[in-house]
Structure 1
Amino acid sequence: MPIRSFLVTQVTLSHQLPFLRALVKVLKMKHRILGALAAVVATCLIPSVLVAGIFSGVVKSVSSSRISVQGKSSKVNKSFRLPRSVKVSLDGKTSNVRRLKAGQQVTIFTSSSGLVTRIRATSDSAPTPKPSPKTTPNPEPKPPKTTNTTPSSPSPRTNSNRTGSSQSEWSQFRGPNRDNISTERGLLKSWSNNGPRLAWTARGMGKGYSTVSMANGMLYTMGLLGSREVVVAIQADNGQIAWTKEYASGRGKLNVGDGPRSTPAIVDGKVYTLGGHGDLICLNAESGDILWQKNILQEFQGSNIGWGISESVLVDGNKVICTPGGSRGTMVALDKDSGSLIWRSQVPGNHKASYSSPIIANVGGVKQYVTFTSSAVIGVRASDGEPLWGNASSANGTANCSAPLFFRDTVFSASGYGTGGTLLSLRSSNSRTQAQQVYHTDDMKNHHGGMVVVDGYLYGSNDPGVMTCIELRSGRIAWQNRSVGKGAVTFADGHIYLRSEQGPIALIEANPSAYREKGRFRQPNQSGDKTWAHPVIAGGKLFLRDHDVLLAYDVKQ
């Protein structure tokens, strides 16, 4: 196309008459100048589509002006020019380019123009978090209302079933082991009347009860922006949104609050999420690009439940585990790289999807996935999906929400609506597992805030809102206290973080001898809805999601 025709077709005539008169003069100039001008005009008329970016990987080479990094997931080498203004942190401390070297793990942050603004690096000698300390008091608490017998095995202490996530991060729902235990150390032992220092506040998450997961210095959550369901990535150190990706639109409203309920899982540079209407998505953690997606309710002929799908998927090895509760699969295992079916388990009985999330249990050499369906707690063999066992004593007919807990060949599960909790003892032989009920207690009617076990004692909120500590092996009550009311719990560095659904957050010593509160505060900018998103402690911070707002508090000593 002649250059004159190109320019004219790119400009709206009715608005650009002065511009055209100038072009007539320019066309009389030398061809060399005209060609250069055409290139400039074309650039102005066809804007570039550049967005801020994040790239994580291993340093291959570095100089004062340029760094080459091999991507974690793509294994592609990228080279970046380093401006003098670039900010560098090494092992969480302010540093400079001179201290970067080959072999270090880095995350590169770029502006919308492609300029490197910040580098976060981890040295080879970065410290490994140590396990949380254990408490040892052995009180003589009052007996609860229990039935059946007590196990002869020793008290469970910690869950050794790993799910592939880094122990220093919080890359899935309920933490590294899906047991509500953070590995953070050196945290505050008490709070002032105003609570810990608020580090930053982020907005732009939309509506929803999804909490956050953290990996490689990034936070991931889900929300509803207008009619769009989205996944959001946030920089953990300052709260800036790195990317927002829509995965569904116009799905309709859910009962009791709009927006997704599930929490993302981050594994091997990929983010796995499950929307409130059954949309399962795998995204690139760096860019937010969708790698594959499907609707598990449609594919496995399930139906949505009253308050929307709330399960947070489990990623174990090459499998994504979820529970569509359909006629073509109660629980299914999908290939994490493609979404293709590995196996589907059809558990006998009317097991629809529920609001709980699966965990891993290893019993006598039999690895299994344990979850709470609409009608019972079930165990499914991990290798092929074969149903192994089920128990309905802790299930109610309305909503089973809290995920089960596995400790030393026992499973504890509980629900609200007047039901309570049950401890099961598991025994395996010949690749099969049997479950025997140890006791049922009315003193742990845990609705949806979850529970945690520390040194053989279980802590959780008992409806209608009494913080309760019981000895797990026997069911005996150690203590009860109304605290800040009904809420969600997480353990970190010797303390229980209890977030009330009404807003206040309490710090409670994880000690079965007595209830000892070490501080409480109320978050600012509260939405007015129930604060159901679970608290997360990772990277020295306490993260609290309340619909569109995400707050980060410094809890390091």
Structure 2
Amino acid sequence: MLKVLLLLPGLLCAAPEWSVWRGPASEGNYDHETTWKHDWLPTGPKTLWQTKVHTGYSGIAVSEGRAYTIGNSEGEDLIQCLNIDTGKIIWNEKYPQDLVPKYNPGGPNAPPIIEGKWLYTLSKQGLVSCLDKASGKPKWRNDLATTAMAPMPTWGFASCPVLVGERLFLNVNESGVALDKETGKLLWNSPPSPCGYAAAVPFTCRDRDAAAIFGHKSMHVVSQASGKVLWQVDWPTKYGENSADPLIIDNKLYLSSWWGQGAALFDPNKDSTKPIWTNKEFQNHIQPPVLFEGHLYGFDGPVHKKKIKGFLRCVNFATGKTVWSKPDLKGSLILSNGKLLILSNDGSIIAAKAQSEEYQELARHSGLGRRTWSPPVLHQGRLYVRDADGTATCLDLR
């Protein structure tokens, strides 16, 4: 049986009360969410609230009756805490930060994450913060542009922070950095260099605790303890745009990028960098696919290019062969109990069956904003989405 590696230790038994980037095991699977339904009214699922959260692509994290996201307004980033029943702002924490628009509205890219009472964030220009999630009071901050000598990549830092034990991992510099989660102190660094945009992915490689860091020009598998490179494969793309998180499946490493690269599967436990398979028509631009019953479901094509056609594709994981394609669809998706919840890049939420026979749509609702590039978050039967122009929406799917 194919198995996606559970990435976050301690989450094997049950889902945590707080939401985790791409689900409890960080692989896009929300099978613990059993109360949501797709038999929506013609007007769509009930909208509980919509709130202005300012410009940016940061996703949403949820914990103990509160939702958190980040936006930019008038030269400042705002880390915002919202009531999940009303959408009203409970607190916000501000700090100076440039909007940095570049072929898009700009604003923060990385979603916040939560562990226990602490909220962790990464700004577009490299400021890492740890805050008390109840009050917004900062515990520590670390400006990686200074402490790690990290140059900002073309579209700004974008990787979701990832916690494993006492370490906080970030895709910064050539092959990542690690911070002490309690103090923010830099534990190890890699050579100063533009980085990729994907989150670090913890896993076991060569019997060692490792992390996959999708860099600007290469995929690096590094030691969690020291940052030493254990395995590496060249993966050059235009502008270094390696954005979709790698996947670890049955101890194999899956990679995909746009700009003609496509997808490939590797075994980083071997010295060889020869791919097990490749698929040039499965170019995941920003979000990675999900795995269900031996098949990958994900998007081919750039989310921002209207003139370039996009596809939702089903790919056989064992062979890398495309099984079916649904044209004119791109965005992000998550998996829950044999169904895909798709958030298209133009603000439609779609429920579809995760099946290898054919694409089968179950429900669709439009009007959730423009440039909806961050994946939706499903938490306790509610779906949280946001768009780059600064509108956060909470839908009740129960």
TM-score (norm 1): 0.66
Aligned to 1:374: 216
- Do 1:187 and 1:493's aligned partners in 2 also have CA atoms closer than 8 Å? no
Indicate the percent of aligned positions where both proteins have the same amino acid: 24
SS at match of 2:58: coil
2:383 counterpart of 1:542: yes
SS at match of 1:427: coil
- Do 1:410 and 1:426's aligned partners in 2 also have CA atoms closer than 8 Å? yes
**Alignment-mate amino acid for residue 40 of structure 2:** W
Go from structure 1 to structure 2 and tell me whether the alpha carbon gap of 1:239 and 1:357 turns closer, same or farther (over 3 Å shift): same
SS at match of 2:267: strand
2:31 counterpart of 1:186: no
Cα distance per residue 1:82-103 (max 9 Å; x no partner):
xxxxxxxxxxxxxxxxxxxxxx
Go from structure 1 to structure 2 and tell me whether the alpha carbon gap of 1:213 and 1:163 turns closer, same or farther (over 3 Å shift): farther
Aligned to 1:143: none
- Do 1:345 and 1:387's aligned partners in 2 also have CA atoms closer than 8 Å? no
Shift of 1:508: 1.1
Higher helix share: 1
**Alignment-mate amino acid for residue 390 of structure 2:** D
- Of 187, 206, 211 in structure 2, the residue corresponding to residue 342 of structure 1 is 187
- Do 1:281 and 1:294's aligned partners in 2 also have CA atoms closer than 8 Å? yes
Aligned to 2:357: 513
Alignment of 1:157-556 (within 5 A): 157-164=3-10, 167-169=15-17, 171-182=19-30, 183-203=32-52, 205-246=53-94, 248-255=95-102, 256-325=104-173, 330-346=175-191, 352-363=194-205, 365-393=207-235, 395-398=236-239, 399-427=241-269, 436-463=274-301, 464-482=309-327, 485-524=329-368, 526=369, 529-546=370-387, 547-556=389-398
- Do 2:97 and 2:125's aligned partners in 1 also have CA atoms closer than 8 Å? no
Shift of 1:436: 4.8
Larger Rg computed on CA atoms: 1
- Do 1:245 and 1:288's aligned partners in 2 also have CA atoms closer than 8 Å? yes
Go from structure 1 to structure 2 and tell me whether the alpha carbon gap of 1:489 and 1:457 turns closer, same or farther (over 3 Å shift): same
Aligned to 1:73: none
More contact order relative to length (CA 8 Å, sep ≥ 6): 2
| Alpha-carbon distance in structure 2 between the residues aligned to 1:239 and 1:250 | 24
Gaps of 5+ in 2: 302-308
Cα distance per residue 1:46-95 (max 9 Å; x no partner):
xxxxxxxxxxxxxxxxxxxxxxxxxxxxxxxxxxxxxxxxxxxxxxxxxx
| Alpha-carbon distance in structure 1 between the residues aligned to 2:213 and 2:39 | 35
Moved more, 221-230 or 169-178: 169-178
| Alpha-carbon distance in structure 1 between the residues aligned to 2:181 and 2:81 | 20
Shift of 1:341: 2.2
SS at match of 1:311: coil
| Alpha-carbon distance in structure 2 between the residues aligned to 1:514 and 1:207 | 37
Aligned to 2:306: none
**Alignment-mate amino acid for residue 377 of structure 1:** M
**Alignment-mate amino acid for residue 447 of structure 1:** H
Shift of 1:225: 2.3
**Alignment-mate amino acid for residue 250 of structure 2:** R
Shift of 1:169: 4.5
Gaps of 5+ in 1: 1-154
| Alpha-carbon distance in structure 2 between the residues aligned to 1:363 and 1:280 | 28
Shift of 1:200: 2.0
Shift of 1:337: 0.7
- Do 1:193 and 1:519's aligned partners in 2 also have CA atoms closer than 8 Å? no
- Do 2:348 and 2:365's aligned partners in 1 also have CA atoms closer than 8 Å? yes
- Do 1:351 and 1:376's aligned partners in 2 also have CA atoms closer than 8 Å? no
Cα distance per residue 1:376-409 (max 9 Å; x no partner):
121111122211111224x412211111111110
SS at match of 2:93: strand
- Do 1:505 and 1:522's aligned partners in 2 also have CA atoms closer than 8 Å? yes
- Do 1:426 and 1:436's aligned partners in 2 also have CA atoms closer than 8 Å? no
| Alpha-carbon distance in structure 1 between the residues aligned to 2:293 and 2:45 | 27
- Do 1:374 and 1:397's aligned partners in 2 also have CA atoms closer than 8 Å? no
Shift of 1:530: 1.6
Shift of 1:191: 3.4
Aligned to 1:115: none
| Alpha-carbon distance in structure 1 between the residues aligned to 2:65 and 2:272 | 42
- Do 1:190 and 1:507's aligned partners in 2 also have CA atoms closer than 8 Å? no
Shift of 1:237: 2.8
Shift of 1:365: 2.9
Cα distance per residue 1:395-452 (max 9 Å; x no partner):
4122111111111101111011122011112327xxxx76552111112111113311
Go from structure 1 to structure 2 and tell me whether the alpha carbon gap of 1:378 and 1:296 turns closer, same or farther (over 3 Å shift): same
- Do 1:158 and 1:455's aligned partners in 2 also have CA atoms closer than 8 Å? no
- Do 1:297 and 1:324's aligned partners in 2 also have CA atoms closer than 8 Å? no
Aligned to 2:305: none
Q: CA RMSD in A?
A: 2.0
Shift of 1:523: 2.3
Shift of 1:482: 1.8
Moved more, 447-456 or 307-316: 447-456
- Do 2:282 and 2:313's aligned partners in 1 also have CA atoms closer than 8 Å? yes
| Alpha-carbon distance in structure 1 between the residues aligned to 2:98 and 2:74 | 11
Shift of 1:466: 0.4
| Alpha-carbon distance in structure 2 between the residues aligned to 1:514 and 1:190 | 20
TM-score (norm 2): 0.91
| Alpha-carbon distance in structure 1 between the residues aligned to 2:272 and 2:84 | 43
- Do 2:150 and 2:193's aligned partners in 1 also have CA atoms closer than 8 Å? no
- Do 2:28 and 2:334's aligned partners in 1 also have CA atoms closer than 8 Å? yes
Aligned to 1:65: none
| Alpha-carbon distance in structure 2 between the residues aligned to 1:260 and 1:195 | 29
Cα distance per residue 1:94-135 (max 9 Å; x no partner):
xxxxxxxxxxxxxxxxxxxxxxxxxxxxxxxxxxxxxxxxxx
Cα distance per residue 1:232-275 (max 9 Å; x no partner):
111223322211001x2153523121210100111121111000
Shift of 1:356: 1.1
- Do 1:360 and 1:369's aligned partners in 2 also have CA atoms closer than 8 Å? yes
| Alpha-carbon distance in structure 2 between the residues aligned to 1:289 and 1:164 | 27
Go from structure 1 to structure 2 and tell me whether the alpha carbon gap of 1:244 and 1:280 turns closer, same or farther (over 3 Å shift): same
